[in-house]
Amino acid sequence: MNARVQSSISIPRVTAIVTVGVIGAIVTIVMPGILAALIASRGLSVAQAAMITSVEMVGMAIATVTTAPLLATVDRRALLIAALAIAATGDLGAAGTSGYVSLLSFRFVAGFGEGALIASMSAAIAATGQPDRLFALFMTVNLLVSMGLLRAFPVLAKTWGAAGVYGALLLLTLAGVFCIPAFPRRAVAAPAAHGGIRGILKLLREPPVALGVFACLILFVGVGMVWPLMGQLGASYGMPLEKVDAALGNSALVGVFSGLFTFWLGTRVGRRVPLIVGSCGLLATTAALALSGAASWFDFATIVFMFSWVIATAYYLGTLAHVDVTGRAATLGLAMQQAGLVVGPALAAALVQGNRFHSALWSSCGTFALALITVSAADRLAVSYRQRTA
């Protein structure tokens, strides 16, 4: 018996959940600003700065996966407190250290805390009964805060160096303390047998969960094969760097609009239609870039890609959260997002030949098509699964 228990969707609770998610995930978007500060103020090479990014992402992925087995039984508020403490320790240490090895260590610690924060958010969203809308709201706020931080980082770095940048992240992490009173505790009285690694393995044997998690991995592998190449694609069309940057900036604003639109849409038209729209938007944009890349519509391509990306992400994760109210499945989906955004660029790098991106773009189209087929199957099977476990 695994009945869905919906948390009350009060404004303080929603604010707390979204804020916790932003604290955990913000670093994945603002990382370019952090790397620039490290290279300029700490004298690190590009390779060393990139290694710091990789270590933090590894810590985040490990925490997301290892926290997932606890979500069926743990007090989520206690998990939040522990995650905030770990992330704050990493931020504080990174702001105060000057050694490269110690910086690597502290960013791994910070990444571990951030991954646990993401898991906390995922579990809380899954219990609300409106996961698609809240994942969309989280992504919207994350983009807005990221744009603000990216504008502030150059000023902070010029004044205090990398310590100022990590200090800003520390202040954001400490703001999570104010979320603790409103953050939901464990909302589902799941049997003890559902907890731990055994519970995760049992959950992954359920077809809708296994297919949904795989779909998330494939989706983000595809995104990782395209989005990091957007700047190089624009340059290959002969576009000036300023226009490429402007196009990418405009796409971020569209991402905010897409998140707000998805939050409003919810499940008014069901989940299947948005899944198709988001996936096909990514596929069509990527195929168009492969067939006839042109500077004249590069802006439009980045806008459609970001718009579709936000919609697809919200409903892919929402599908998993709707299947498993404990949040474990959605947390695994988020872990697959991190994995896909690491694997995708590596595959793209192996496929790109000089200024020829066709192989990477067409391969990405294949992953988007496979992701849509897989998540559609997961969504269909989810109906019978929920009826059986209700």
Q: Where are the domains of the chain?
A: 11-189, 206-389
State the pLDDT at residue 261.
Answer: 94
* Site of tokens 């979500």: 71
Identify the H or E element spanning 319. helix 298-323
- Both tokens of residue 30? 């603002």
The answer to whether 24 touches 143, Cβ cutoff 8 Å, is no
- The topology under which CATH files domain 206-389 is Growth Hormone; Chain: A; (1.20.1250)
The answer to whether 59 touches 111, Cβ cutoff 8 Å, is yes
Profile the chain (390 residues) by mean pLDDT over runs of 10 residues: 51 94 91 82 81 86 88 86 97 92 95 94 86 93 90 89 94 97 72 63 89 96 86 79 77 90 88 94 92 76 92 93 85 87 83 81 96 94 70
State the pLDDT at residue 338.
Answer: 81
Matching fold, domains 11-189 and 206-389? yes
Distance CA 149, CA 180 (A): 23
- Write down the CATH superfamily of domain 11-189: MFS general substrate transporter like domains (1.20.1250.20)
Distance CA 123, CA 324 (A): 9
State the pLDDT at residue 150.
Answer: 84
State whether residue 6 is helix, strand or coil: coil
